[in-house]
Structure 1
Amino acid sequence: MATGYVSALERVKQADGVLGIVWAGSAARGQADLHSDLDFYVLVSGDRRWRTSFMAGAAPVEAFYNPARQIRKYIAQGDASSMFMLAEGRVVLEHPELEALILEARQTLAAGRPAKLLASDESHTAVDEVWETRSVVGQPIHVQVAMQAVKRIVGALYQQRGWWDTKPKHWPGDLALRDAQAAGLLLAVLEAGADTLQAALEALALYVLGSLDWAESSTVPEEV
């Protein structure tokens, strides 16, 4: 990983307009495993953003290039992925503007995400996905459809509680710290067999959504 890091960083530095670089992700935090990649969040000049992926030796690499204006837009939108990369990463190429962006990201994360109740159409969509899983119980596709529903349901939980999003692989540990009951219900889904998966999914959904009834809802009309 160390050898891959050196060559990866050199390649990232060669991109047009590079001003500052943050080494981010699990490897930068000293938590890498055999499947971890190397992530770089890069401040560039100009008005373009792009993303690259490549191999550096045996290490997979992803680099995210953004001008300051776009990074500030991500922060204003509450893009947790961008903010955590900035806030928790290691600066490996310094730039004053990058330092300012890191401070903005840390302040926004510290301030917390505003809790937001689900709109009627958002609640309907989540319930609809649970109903969809009922239609494929006993079929091989049931597991995949159920996991899609889980992603939406857990996302709804984070939204309603005002928690910053995290990757699905971190859900069990993160929820264990935030809400033991939700963590237990999620674990029950993840460990369920074919005969118990639907019941476990609906228990989690009911906890988050409050009801699995088909309720009246509507989106806001918009011009097309």
Structure 2
Amino acid sequence: MAEHARDGDGLRGRAQARLEAALPAALSRVTAAPGVYAVLWCGSAARGEADEHSDLDFHALVTGDHRWRSSFVVDGVPAEVFHNPPRTVQVRFAQGEAATVAMFAGGRVLVPHPDLDALVAEARALYAAGPAPRPPTPAERHLLLDEVIEARAAVNEPMHPYLVASAAGRLVRALYAARGWWEVGPRRWLSDLAAREAEAAQPLHAALNALQPDERQAALEALALCVLGSLEYGESATEPQALP
């Protein structure tokens, strides 16, 4: 076990070093784009957590009224760049877009500018405060419960693992929203939940790993209880929509 962990650490260390070696050439490509005047390095590599599947991620502040994404490969390393005027980033902050807030809060400034400094400070304050808790509405709760019950009905069918995994993903996202936590990527759910709420991390792990269908379903329903409080249907209705 310890030797396997050391091997994993070695692979991650080599992956991190590979990405950092490609960073200067990648930054030259980013700054060569028209209108770029500030650059933030973000993502797993910027946090020092790269693995063999990681790439280089950048946010570039640009002048003008356009935003776009670009990608390229340098020294065998893929890179992705999000080009935005500052006001576009601020709009995403205001909308509570978790990925953008997390990237700016945890990123590393490579090409500084007061606009970028202000955005990073705003993102860090937002990230520390967390989003406003948003429990599922009655209609959303009904849909989530539907997925759990559909999986229960298919417990002896080949599709059961897929139905459980799909429902578990939706439940985890609903849990993050209800608790007022910024979302993290699915690869980090188990470790993040283990630190935040072990009562949810344990059934999620079991739902994804249990070999027996009954155990898998029981774990899914335990996870659902963390989010929904019960497995009983209640009253719900969506807002009326005008017909075209």
Q: Same fold (TM over 0.5)?
A: yes
Q: Give aligned pairs, total.
A: 224
- Identity fraction in percent: 48
Matched, 1:213 2:236: no
- Give secondary structure in 2 for the equivalent of 1:61: strand
Amino acid at match of 2:72: F
Structure 1, 81-90 or 134-143: larger mean CA deviation: 134-143
Give the drift of 1:213. 2.4
Q: How many Å separate the matches in 1 of 2:67 and 2:230?
A: 42
Distance 2:145 2:20 in 1: 47
Equivalent position amino acid for 1:164 in 2: W
Going from structure 1 to structure 2, the CA distance change for 1:211 and 1:59 (only over 3 Å counts) comes to same
The reply to whether residue 110 of structure 1 matches residue 128 of structure 2 is yes
Which of the residues 122, 125, 128 maps onto 2:140? 122
Residue 170 of structure 1 is matched in structure 2 by 188
Note the C-alpha offset of 1:160: 1.2
Q: Which residue of the partner structure matches residue 171 of structure 2?
A: 153
TM-score normalised by length of structure 2:
0.86
Instruction: Flag structure 2 segments of 5+ consecutive residues without an equivalent.
Output: 1-18
Structure 1 Cα separation of the partners of residues 114 and 128 of structure 2: 21
Gaps of 5+ in 1: none
Equivalents in 1 of 2:34, 2:70: separation in Å?
13
Q: CA deviation at 1:36?
A: 1.1
Larger mean Cα displacement after TM superposition, 214-223 or 116-125: 214-223
Q: CA deviation at 1:194?
A: 4.3
Partner of 1:41: 59
Distance, in Å, in 2 between the alignment partners of 1:197 and 1:37 is 34
SS at 1:73 equivalent: helix
CA 1:55/1:135 → structure 2, altered by over 3 Å: closer, same or farther?
farther
- Contact 2:35/2:64, CA 8 A, preserved across alignment: yes
CA change 1:203–1:88 in 2 (3 A) is same
TM-score (norm 1): 0.93
Aligned to 1:223: 242
Q: CA deviation at 1:90?
A: 0.7
Deviations 1:9-63 (A, max 9, x none): 2212122211211001111111111111111011111222222223222222111
Instruction: Tell me whether 1:79 sits opposite 2:105 in the alignment.
Output: no
CA 138–60 in structure 1, closer or farther in 2 if over 3 Å, else same: farther
Counterpart in 2 of 1:185?
Answer: 203
CA distance in 1, matches of 2:42, 2:236: 41
How much has 1:108 moved relative to structure 2? 1.2
Root-mean-square deviation over aligned CA pairs: 1.6
Instruction: Describe the shift of the 1:149–1:18 C-alpha distance in structure 2 as closer, same or farther (beyond 3 A).
Output: same
Bigger shift: 136-145 or 166-175?
Answer: 136-145
In the alignment, the residues of structure 2 paired with residue 2 and residue 119 of structure 1 have an alpha-carbon distance, to the nearest angstrom, of: 44
Q: Give the distance between the partners of 1:136 and 1:53, measured in 2 at CA.
A: 42
What is the distance in 2 between the residues matched to 1:112 and 1:2? 30
> Residue 165 of structure 1 aligns to which amino acid in structure 2?
E
8 A contact 2:164–2:207 mirrored in 1: no
Q: Deviations over 1:89-136 (max 9, x none)?
A: 111111111111111111111222211221111111111221232343
Counterpart in 1 of 2:47? 29
SS, match of residue 203 in structure 1: helix
SS of equivalent residue, structure 1 residue 26? coil
Residue 218 and residue 102 in structure 1: after superposition, are their counterparts in 2 closer, same or farther (change >3 A)?
same
